[in-house]
Amino acid sequence: MSVDTEPESPRTYQVVTYGCQMNVHDSERIAGVLEAAGFVPSLIDPGPGVPADADVVVFNTCAVRENAANRLYGNLGHMAAIKAGRPGMQIAVGGCMAQQDKATVVARAPWVDVVFGTNNLGSLPVLLERARMEHVSQVEIKEALETFPSNLPTRRESPSSAWVSISVGCNNTCTFCIVPRLRGRETDRAPEAILAEIRTLVSAGVQEVTLLGQNVNNYGVEVGDRQAFAKLLRACGDIEGLRRVRFTSPHPKDFTSEVIAAMAETPNVMPSLHMPLQSGSNDVLRRMHRPYRRERFRGILAEVRAAMPDAAITTDIIVGFPGETEQDFDDTLSLVHEARFAAAFTFQYSKRPGTPAATMSDQVPHEVVQQRYERLVQEIEKISWEENKTQVGRRVEVLFAEGEGRKDVGTRRLSGRARDNRLVHVAMPDDPAERPRPGDIATVEVTYAAPHHLIADAPLGELIRTAGGDAWEARERAESGVAEGVMPASVGGTTQNIGGTAPRLRPGIVQGDD
């Protein structure tokens, strides 16, 4: 006589992501390979102070700043108690910190089951199963790229926007940066593969792509084509249905007039540019081994603004690099004041083991770094606010997105990005039929400016229902079980409910606090 048994439930996963956009892209690939192996995203909200809660928890790590490492090992400590109370739970650590620390991760946190690197994302399911069967931690770090991450399955967080990797690795030798050592020398994808991926994404509803690389405008270095990136941007302009193209991050030394012309002359390439400065002092740039000077940087900004007067330019700046004098810092402040950045990501210099800067003798005292940092942030906030105020009264095109506005529920707004990448919080109409969905596009009038965002409380202008909005709505129906022809409750004035419940946790991938 046969005995019926309940089928075993699929194992759940969560991916906790630290660091840059490349890591966000990699986390979507990690989620994709796990789902291809039969795992399902966890719907459990881990709650305050708990990094994650699932059968398999993956930390995709960053090694750029010291606090990211401290945060990782702190969270692994929290996970030890959670794992002890959950039989069968597995913890994996990947990304740049894993590539750097290798077996040290298991030595410091022996309850970790798998350590894998940046070059073998696709190996994770096999390593998890091996660790489960052998009851021994698996550490597998590859020094060479096994397969381009974009060739792996993916689980994208947004139905309407997507990351597209065009290269991995970096050939630069900045003295503060550990990334080239961890991700290797630059490897480029064939343009045909990139464009094919973008066409596939657009056919699935994607409206916006962001081209990713450690140094995107060095794309083509392997074949000696300095115009390859400009050609790629122009080719993106020929893809029907692709409304927006962005890229990150370029490098001033490789930024050409041809790229600027391609940006200005290709309608779906957005008028926004993230151009890392790092320092406004030529002496500091030399010690950083950044092969451009402030004069070259100023020239790039002038050329960009001549070609695209409404372009919003953002940057990265490091304060307190070894040997930085007060005059060096004043040089940075003066360039910041002249450049009028729309925003800046500012960092206090952090020693990274294995980098030349970590062993430089003239480290700047922390209290001096902190004081300079506060002065820089104050100046940037002032300029950003002034620049945002120039937007008040303008009509801007907003692509709405899920998760852009943390206060959308309480403020009856839906948030998204203008063409220049400014964040805009938009008041929603009372009539649900007139409300945009994430992935839709509308023209709005800016009514208020803050240093980090704009508000549009005037009535909506033209509303464009897009394939991206359709894709979002279809996903909402599938995940909530709403039948075709019935509007999901979450379609409306926020990424979830207007004035209703808090946003539902998007399963699977969690952004770590680094």
Confidence of residue 199 (pLDDT cuts 50, 70, 90): very high
Mean pLDDT of 124-143: 93
- pLDDT score recorded for residue 510: 58
CATH superfamily of 149-389: tm_1862 like domain (3.80.30.20)
| Average pLDDT for 185-194 | 92
Q: Which CATH class is domain 395-482+499-509?
A: mainly beta
pLDDT digits (tens, 9 = 90+) for 481-506: 655 555 554 444 333 333 222 333 34
- C-alpha 465/C-alpha 442 separation (Å) is 9
Q: Does residue 366 have a pLDDT over 70?
A: yes
Token pair 């294995």: residue: 354
Could you give the CA distance from residue 234 to residue 434 in angstroms, rounded to a whole number?
A: 35
pLDDT at 143: 79
Which pLDDT score, from 0 to 100, does residue 63 have?
Answer: 79
Other beta carbons within 10 Å of 338: 12
Instruction: Tell me what the mean pLDDT of segment 355-369 comes to.
Output: 95
* pLDDT value at residue 9: 84
Which ranges in the chain are annotated with CATH 3.40.50.12160?
12-140
Q: Can you give the pLDDT at residue 513? A: 54
The predicted-structure confidence for 400-416, as pLDDT tens digits, reads as follows 998 898 888 888 999 99
User: How many Cβ atoms are within 10 Å of 354's Cβ, its own excluded?
Assistant: 11
pLDDT of residue 499: 28
Q: CATH 2.40.50 residue ranges in the chain?
A: 395-482+499-509
What is the arrangement of strands in the sheet containing 161-165, beginning at the earlier edge strand?
Answer: 161-165, 208-212, 244-248
What pLDDT band is residue 49 in, cutting at 50, 70 and 90?
low
Q: Is the peptide bond before 249 cis (omega within 30 degrees of 0)?
A: yes
- What is the spatial distance between Cα 177 and Cα 354, in angstroms, rounded to a whole number? 9
Question: Considering the chain, what percentage of its residues have pLDDT values greater than 70?
Answer: 90
4: confidence class by pLDDT, cuts 50, 70, 90: low
| Burial classification of residue 462, based on how many CB atoms lie within 10 Å of its CB (0-12 exposed, 13-18 middle, 19 or more buried) | exposed
Q: How far apart are CA 201 and CA 207, in angstroms?
A: 8
The values of phi and psi at residue 444, to 5°, are -135, 160
Q: Is the pLDDT of residue 461 over 50?
A: yes
Query: If one looks up domain 12-140 in CATH, what number appears?
Result: 3.40.50.12160
Identify the pLDDT of residue 153. 85
pLDDT of residue 488: 53
What is the distance between the alpha carbons of residues 421 and 440, in angstroms, rounded to a whole number? 16
Q: Tell me which residue of 216, 227, 287, 218 sits closest to 257, measured CA to CA.
A: 227
CATH 3.80.30.20 boundaries in the chain? 149-389
Tokens read off for 117: 């690197």
- Segment 389-405 shows an average pLDDT of 95
Model confidence at 511, pLDDT cuts 50, 70, 90, reads low
Q: Spell out the residues 6+ positions from residue 173 whose beta carbon is closer than 8 angstroms to its own.
A: 180, 289
74 vs 304, more confident: 304
Confidence of residue 145 (pLDDT cuts 50, 70, 90): confident
CB 457 within 8 A of CB 447: yes
- Whether residue 286 has pLDDT greater than 50: yes
